[in-house]
């Protein structure tokens, strides 16, 4: 499929300047009152690295002469007598996200410290920036609308190459994925059933993206493409109308009704939050990067292979998730097809954060503890 040349370029520990990713920036602003009371994250920040793949061929038939994947690692790998890695944890981010989204107090501060569930003195944690995201090769690097149209199958294939050839990791203790990463986790379990001991998919459904979930995504993409300033991706300045539409849809899709009502109880406060959240999102969006990331889900829908999964699965959603509404009953239905699977629906409360609850580890860490103990 491709020929790879790889290298790991260690550097000084990553300095986190922006602790939120684009996809959850709205939620950061929505819960600003609560977040402001938290101390800044001061735990392990990881070692950055890069892995290069030459002449990667995408499922679309398009190729890139050089594909760069940025990643972070925390901790050190341990191997058994047969050379198999025994302590690797693979953490996968969501749409428009990056490895940075996890180095925050309410994720790393809850999980990565001494004695915590994913203590970096015990586990070798790997967090990649997927193609099209973060520090990895993406449309805004220069190709713009001529960038290859990657899909989820490409992303998972690249992740596998990074682990096996780049980092020499041949087994995972755990794969934990949030949102898009949640869907990637299902694909990993189906495609490489012997590669991991356990999976924790957070905030997704193991079926094709359809219904309301597809509708809001299509509305977002159409809004950007229909902006006259879009210019088929060859814009010289960001298409503002399209990006404002995208920001507004992200705010709704990542909203948490109970928390928003608590934090913004008046019309004036709600209106101000909308203005602030929209500006913050638009400042961080690149239209091409956004469109490619949203469109990548078009090839997701491998529910037919759930029976192939061998790993123990702890599947967690929250009741206030706009993107994966519990009333569909899909999670409860599909988990029955997973031999060692369990589904947990966390009730909505002022502790949940809608779709973005996936990054607030205190809400669901008890289920991770249960999974690891098995």
- Distance, CA of 123 to chain centre: 20
Instruction: Provide the pLDDT for residue 4.
Output: 44
Residue 15 has pLDDT above 70, yes or no: no
Backbone CA torsion sign across 320, 323, 327, 330: negative
Residue 112 has pLDDT above 70, yes or no: yes
Nearest to 74 by CA among 37, 111, 31, 41: 111
CB 65 within 8 A of CB 56: no
Residue 224 has pLDDT above 80, yes or no: yes
Q: Tell me the mean pLDDT in the region 193-209.
A: 97
Q: What is the per-residue pLDDT across 19-73, written as a single tens digit (0 to 9) for each?
A: 333 334 434 333 333 333 445 677 878 999 999 999 999 999 999 999 999 999 9
What the chain holds in terms of domains, given with CATH numbers, is 3-212+293-373 (3.40.50.1820)
Residue whose token pair is 């009730």: 347
Instruction: Provide the pLDDT for residue 31.
Output: 38
CA dihedral 76, 110, 356, 319 (to 10 degrees): 120
Instruction: Provide the pLDDT for residue 39.
Output: 57
Question: What's the rounded Cα separation, in Å, for the pair 311 and 186?
Answer: 10
Residue 11 has pLDDT above 60, yes or no: no
More confident: 243 or 31: 243
User: Token digits for 175?
Assistant: 């794969």
- Beta pairing, strands 312-318 & 63-74: unpaired
More confident: 245 or 19: 245
At 88, is the secondary structure helix, strand, or coil? strand
Beta strand residue intervals within the chain, DSSP E: 3-4, 47-57, 63-74, 88-92, 124-128, 172-178, 196-202, 312-318, 341-346
Q: What is the per-residue pLDDT across 143-177, written as a single tens digit (0 to 9) for each?
A: 999 999 999 999 999 999 999 999 999 999 999 99
Residue 304 has pLDDT above 80, yes or no: no
Residue 205 has pLDDT above 90, yes or no: yes
Instruction: Provide the pLDDT for residue 283.
Output: 93
- What does the mean pLDDT of the chain come to? 90
Residue 191 has pLDDT above 60, yes or no: yes
Instruction: Provide the pLDDT for residue 40.
Output: 67
Instruction: Provide the pLDDT for residue 2.
Output: 39
């Amino acid at each position: 499929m491709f020929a790879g040349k790889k290298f790991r370029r260690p550097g000084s520990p990553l300095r986190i300047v922006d602790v939120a990713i684009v996809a959850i920036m709205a939620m950061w602003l929505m819960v600003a009152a609560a977040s402001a009371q938290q101390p800044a994250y001061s735990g392990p920040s990881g070692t950055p690295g890069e892995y290069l793949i030459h002449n990667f061929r995408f499922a679309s038939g398009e190729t890139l002469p050089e594909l760069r994947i940025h990643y972070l690692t925390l901790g050190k790998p341990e191997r058994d007598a047969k050379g198999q890695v025994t302590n690797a944890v693979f953490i996968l981010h969501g749409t428009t996200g990056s490895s940075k989204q996890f180095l925050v107090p309410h994720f790393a501060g809850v999980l990565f410290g001494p004695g915590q569930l994913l203590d970096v003195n015990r586990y070798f944690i790997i967090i990649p920036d997927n193609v099209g995201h973060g520090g990895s090769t993406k449309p805004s690097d220069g190709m713009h609308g001529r960038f290859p149209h990657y899909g989820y199958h490409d992303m998972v294939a690249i992740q596998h190459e990074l682990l096996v050839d780049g980092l020499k990791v041949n087994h995972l203790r755990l794969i934990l994925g949030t949102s898009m990463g949640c869907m990637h986790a299902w694909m990993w379990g189906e495609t490489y059933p012997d590669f991991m001991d356990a999976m924790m998919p957070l905030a997704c459904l193991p079926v094709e993206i359809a219904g309301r979930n597809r509708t809001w995504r299509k509305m977002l993409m159409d809004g950007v493409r229909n902006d006259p300033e879009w210019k088929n991706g060859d814009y010289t300045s960001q298409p503002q109308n399209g990006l404002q539409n995208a920001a507004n849809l992200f705010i709704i899709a990542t909203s948490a009704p109970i928390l928003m009502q608590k934090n913004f109880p008046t019309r004036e406060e709600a209106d101000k939050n909308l203005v602030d959240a929209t500006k913050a999102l638009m400042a961080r969006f690149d239209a091409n990067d956004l469109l490619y990331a949203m469109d990548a889900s078009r090839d997701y829908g491998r529910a037919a292979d759930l029976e192939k999964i061998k790993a123990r699965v702890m599947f967690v959603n929250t009741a206030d998730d706009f993107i994966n509404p519990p009333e569909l009953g899909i999670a409860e239905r599909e988990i029955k097809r997973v031999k060692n699977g369990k589904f947990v629906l966390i009730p909505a409360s002022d502790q949940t954060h809608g779709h973005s609850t996936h990054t607030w580890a205190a809400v669901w860490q008890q289920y991770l503890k249960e999974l690891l103990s098995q």
